[in-house]
Structure 1
């Protein structure tokens, strides 16, 4: 009996010993995991948004890249099927979505501009209040801010709720003001290249005065009168095999003579030509370097988010198309410029302290005339002025009313409210029905809805019609919404291309995220949405996601999320 008791005591002691060891091991691994999470919180987030970076072109030429865009794709997590789920994938809408993680029905940015009740064009970043005046602007009545952005974004929450008790900063740098404003949100600092001043500026909505480092940068980076564009490779080589054969000869003209960077249009000096060049993208990277050097704190608990918003690809893509020598060559140059920028950052701080995000705000359609020449007979360009005239004639024929003020801005038709208010309900219904029928019977337009019809119809998620529906916002989305057929576009221009449809070629974009040691070396082939980028940034930076964002973070980001 005594022997059994002694044996029982020994077993209990052994059990207690193993339990203590198990508890110590659990505490050890929990501590290690918590240390890993803490160590992986980046001090710097670099978000590179290349405007109109077409996924199928980028994927087809990535093996030719020799800079760090290719390194990013190979080292990071590459999401091969990322989509910007918009019915009208415009620049302002795309950048607002990246920042807020919401649809336009929530953030309110339905397009780059829209029309008011009295048919005045409202630009997405314009703010005429005194506190939004642009520094150095010739027109003191036009200010810029994010007051049209109806919700907060990751740029706001990062500042409101810094992690680890530090202080966070957010800067956006762009060649377009509205790209910078949409990504800065309400609390970030927006900086953009002013095409009239020929230098970077901002408004009083973001600064009491321009930061000293930016003033110094502008003084040391004057824009020359003429610049030349030297292609990265021989333009007749295999590096440009994706160029549409019908466009090749015309595209070569860009490389034959110096480019005048500025010109006088309607007595206003403008640097619009400069914005289309590789030198403009280099200037943007240089400004980003100056920003990081000046604004990145020595305090390890402080964080800096910098959005680098490259617009030159959008300007070139609109004029020449994305299957052109200038567009593809510009991507090659950006690849090389980004290599120098990435080396600067990694010399400045530890690689594991930086998270890199590469993506686009939208893709782009092929040039319809070139696509038609290649054999796709249904590709068409619909002239918006002619379409407006057709609608007005149809309404006048049916109701003997003349539309005094109507604008077609795909996919919206705007009719001035003062005209609608002057007619009774029956006449208004006749007007709407005639508009719908005229649009639906127009070749290469699939269908049309009134605002209320589209709003109240049930669609399968993420279909083209659903994406159009999610872009409705009261008083901004027009009275009639229409859907063009694939590879057709409405435009006031007779050449070039655009990105105004809900189809895959306009919304499929590249997306890569990389942080050395924790977010790396994966290919995710499942479909994801770019609206998931904001909550992913929030997770990585350990700050709350934007208040209206209901999306989860992107899959495959980290291996230790179970400990969070």
Structure 2
């Protein structure tokens, strides 16, 4: 008995000393590449020679990191920030319906959250983290200092990504798709800081006369990946690479149109990140979140194996190396040691391949459905049977939203029969695995290996649809069902992402192959920064302290 007791004490001491042999970081640079599935590492690692490769070669690489919820940009950025699932943080999707009205995840109608125009006046709409129902890493960093001098900044092309990472107390910056400027809202600033307005004047996109997207490599072998030349299944049926893109091409129909789908957009965002560091970095604790969105933008249009998507990875590899060099240069000037700087690289989700080429290739489990056609067909059947028009008002990810006002007027048995009819229709479609009402899914029991539990983690009161479904692999229900791609399933191609953590002198090169989950990310970063983890976060830290 004494021996067992002494062994227990010895083990505890070893673990304690292992954890405490690492110095805490003062600065965390967290790079999130939108739609950067782990399969890109498998396919392209040997071709990388920049910042991504530097982190792979020097940091702790988790080869089996997964999201355990159905993926989307806003929900997964919020998970990264808070350490909890959508069913807890409340951001179930990029948008949803409440009381039959479409709500954007970062929408805030309060005049205290109005978005800034370039001239400092305000738009008539607002954005904030109001819809995030728990605190995040940025909040904890700010609250951890008695004088509130710690800083957390979150930068992205997408407002929903920046806001999810900045949370309530950090500072969020994103691109204004009306003007091409970086902006924010009154939720984060009384007025837009002068350094941001000066940056916008200097770097404005409409100063570019024309732009030619030249690939990193001239040798075609670097792009010789299956299904990389299927422009007939792209939303844009012409290549972006080696085409002359005039400023009118880039910004026609808002800056969102083509600009955000080119390496220019990420390059400009990284310039903003460097400026942010130059202006704000000091000897207090500091987090910089950087979400690079252009891979997602171009991937949705051309597919993840297109030449555009592959070269975007190569471009980011170079751009991230430039950022890392700048981080160490500016830190050295301010007497901040490399050992005090943690750099993490990950993604918000993976991506499904273009499905029509898979079908041509012989994969017979591929199924593509139009969300609009399904909605129209179901509404037509319900109308014919019950004389109720447009019972379904919308479809988001794995959910159908029904008209609550019309449902409320119906007798309970009629409502129940409508639910049954919708589920029956869905379950008769090849590729649909399961279908539930909201109530059924809430109470469902799942086997430990059944990934349908990921769907249940999308449930949040008043924000979820009435009918949920899950898909079989390589089935998708989207608006443009034969064009572009999606990332809404619970399968590996959507949930498996890179995760790399590097802190010189503290965490050394290692590959960890055991399964880990992205809910472990925030507890780990919190521990390294020596701050409290976000309030709702309860998962274990990542196994980075194991020797």
TM-score, length of structure 2 as denominator length: 0.91
Unaligned runs of 5+ in 2: 1-13, 332-336
- Mapped contact 1:78–1:512 kept (Cα < 8 A): yes
Secondary structure, aligned partner of 1:358: strand
- Alpha-carbon distance between aligned partners in 2 of 1:126 and 1:80, rounded to the nearest angstrom: 35
* Distance apart, 1:84 and its partner CA: 1.0
- Does the alignment pair 1:283 with 2:264? no
- Mapped contact 2:116–2:122 kept (Cα < 8 A): no
- Does the alignment pair 1:508 with 2:496? yes
- Does the alignment pair 1:180 with 2:162? yes
- Mapped contact 1:246–1:370 kept (Cα < 8 A): no
* Distance apart, 1:66 and its partner CA: 1.1
TM-score, length of structure 1 as denominator length: 0.88
What's the counterpart of residue 456 of structure 1? 443
* Distance apart, 1:419 and its partner CA: 0.9
* Distance apart, 1:81 and its partner CA: 0.2
What's the counterpart of residue 122 of structure 1? 103
Task: Decide which of 329, 346, 353 is 2:340's aligned counterpart.
Answer: 353
* Distance apart, 1:172 and its partner CA: 0.3
* Distance apart, 1:167 and its partner CA: 2.9
- Alpha-carbon distance between aligned partners in 2 of 1:468 and 1:230, rounded to the nearest angstrom: 41
* Distance apart, 1:399 and its partner CA: 2.7
- Mapped contact 2:228–2:307 kept (Cα < 8 A): no
- Mapped contact 1:252–1:325 kept (Cα < 8 A): no
Moved more, 236-245 or 127-136: 236-245
Task: Decide which of 421, 432, 438 is 1:445's aligned counterpart.
Answer: 432
Q: How does 1:80-479 map to 2 (within 5 A)?
A: 80-87=63-70, 89-117=71-99, 119-136=100-117, 140-162=123-145, 167-223=149-205, 224-234=208-218, 237-244=220-227, 247=230, 253-261=239-247, 269-297=254-282, 299=283, 302-349=284-331, 350-461=337-448, 463-479=450-466
What's the counterpart of residue 533 of structure 2? 545
CA spacing shift, 1:525–1:404, aligned 2, 3 Å = closer
* Distance apart, 1:320 and its partner CA: 0.6
- Mapped contact 2:214–2:242 kept (Cα < 8 A): no
- Alpha-carbon distance between aligned partners in 1 of 2:386 and 2:125, rounded to the nearest angstrom: 40
* Distance apart, 1:43 and its partner CA: 2.2
* Distance apart, 1:353 and its partner CA: 1.7
- Alpha-carbon distance between aligned partners in 2 of 1:35 and 1:378, rounded to the nearest angstrom: 50
* Distance apart, 1:394 and its partner CA: 2.5
Unaligned runs of 5+ in 1: 1-28, 560-564
CA spacing shift, 1:427–1:275, aligned 2, 3 Å = same
CA spacing shift, 1:421–1:263, aligned 2, 3 Å = farther
* Distance apart, 1:141 and its partner CA: 2.1
* Distance apart, 1:395 and its partner CA: 1.9
Aligned pairs, how many?
521
* Distance apart, 1:94 and its partner CA: 0.6
- Alpha-carbon distance between aligned partners in 2 of 1:518 and 1:158, rounded to the nearest angstrom: 21
Secondary structure, aligned partner of 2:368: strand
Deviations 1:190-218 (A, max 9, x none): 00011112111100000111122212211
What's the counterpart of residue 73 of structure 1? 56
Secondary structure, aligned partner of 2:186: coil
Deviations 1:83-114 (A, max 9, x none): 01112x00000100000000111000110000
Moved more, 433-442 or 344-353: 344-353
CA spacing shift, 1:245–1:293, aligned 2, 3 Å = closer
* Distance apart, 1:400 and its partner CA: 3.4
* Distance apart, 1:520 and its partner CA: 1.9
* Distance apart, 1:46 and its partner CA: 0.5
Deviations 1:400-438 (A, max 9, x none): 333355222231000121111121111111111111111
What's the counterpart of residue 14 of structure 1? none
* Distance apart, 1:257 and its partner CA: 2.2
What's the counterpart of residue 25 of structure 1? none
Moved more, 276-285 or 207-216: 207-216
What's the counterpart of residue 9 of structure 2? none
Moved more, 194-203 or 132-141: 132-141
| Larger CA Rg, structure 1 vs 2 | 1
CA spacing shift, 1:287–1:246, aligned 2, 3 Å = closer
CA spacing shift, 1:90–1:33, aligned 2, 3 Å = closer
What's the counterpart of residue 6 of structure 2? none
* Distance apart, 1:120 and its partner CA: 1.8
Deviations 1:37-94 (A, max 9, x none): 5xx222211000000002112222011101121010110000000001112x000001
Secondary structure, aligned partner of 2:258: helix
CA spacing shift, 1:35–1:369, aligned 2, 3 Å = closer
- Mapped contact 2:153–2:166 kept (Cα < 8 A): yes
- Alpha-carbon distance between aligned partners in 2 of 1:192 and 1:245, rounded to the nearest angstrom: 31
